A and B are shown apart, each in its own frame.
Chain A
């Protein structure tokens, strides 16, 4: 699992009770992310998705394969809602 996310810069967001609340001003949509998606949102620009998977796997004692699969699905969902895009190139 390589790459990292880039948050859509047109969105407004705040962390509320440990979860991300994201507003899309263009269409007034409000998105509330679950715990894992919030971690991806929060750390996904500074860390690779693989690093986030390892962090979650260690913190929650869940196998890395399961976490990778979850993150993969969540990132696809976030992309489909135009909340993030994924940069696949390795970070410098």
Chain B
């Protein structure tokens, strides 16, 4: 499957061998999770409760069916003992033994499905202020959870994995169920993005604008991306350049306290 050029997904309206699916939507991507095992379904219902939806069948994800051979045109990815097989009609998650494996495969799946829709997942915390989203991104230990913990209750869309997507004529940040140490359920809302901030802990609070290439250099290592396909990476590059062209990107030096909002507001 050429992940960089999927025009649209063409999954069937109903699964032939189906239990009732858990219907969720993440980043406005409708997903239908077919989970037969109660030991997986119960934690999935709890983890994704904020992202449940009603309506027609979404992109089907069938868990733990007997393993099929990977066919030509399918993308497969292994995560520890679990495996995802994906094509434009749906996905199969195999060897999923606990909710964390399911969550990890869902993240990987979303990176693929969002790619042709000018969307991606980013290691970042998203905080909403005055109706606009501020994304604070960086690698592990940069301070994403700290920023989230310093933000008012209800204003944090995620403290760990931000979902960025171009839709309705603007770049928007979506809440995700993929949280780190802060909270568990997530907030299923979206807001237009005001700015992107590369986190750097420092002795003073300061904001420095990033030029195009600097911003690209900062963003690339923080994007969740799992394919080695060149065309997919070109699509991602195009998406990131489109984002940087419209949304201001900065480096934020901050002291691990809430004073950083003053330099952002300035």
Contact = CB atoms under 8 A, between A and B. Distances in A.
Interface of A: 9-14, 16-17, 19, 21, 23, 25-26, 28, 30, 32
Contact of A25 (B217, B230, B238): B230
B229 A25 contact: yes
Contact of A9 (B217, B228, B230, B241): B230
A30 B215 CA distance: 13
Contacts of B231: 12
Given A25-B227, A25-B230, A16 B220 contact: no
B69 interface: no
Contacts, number: 43
Overall SS of chain A's interface: strand
A9 B231 CA distance: 10
Given A25-B227, A25-B228, A26-B228, A14 B237 contact: yes
A13 B237 CA distance: 8
Top 9 A-B residue pairs of the complex, sorted by shortest distance between their CB atoms: A12-B233, A25-B228, A12-B234, A14-B237, A12-B230, A23-B233, A25-B233, A10-B230, A26-B228
B220 A30 contact: yes
B213 A19 contact: yes
B4 to A, nearest CB: 9
Contacts of A13: 234, 237
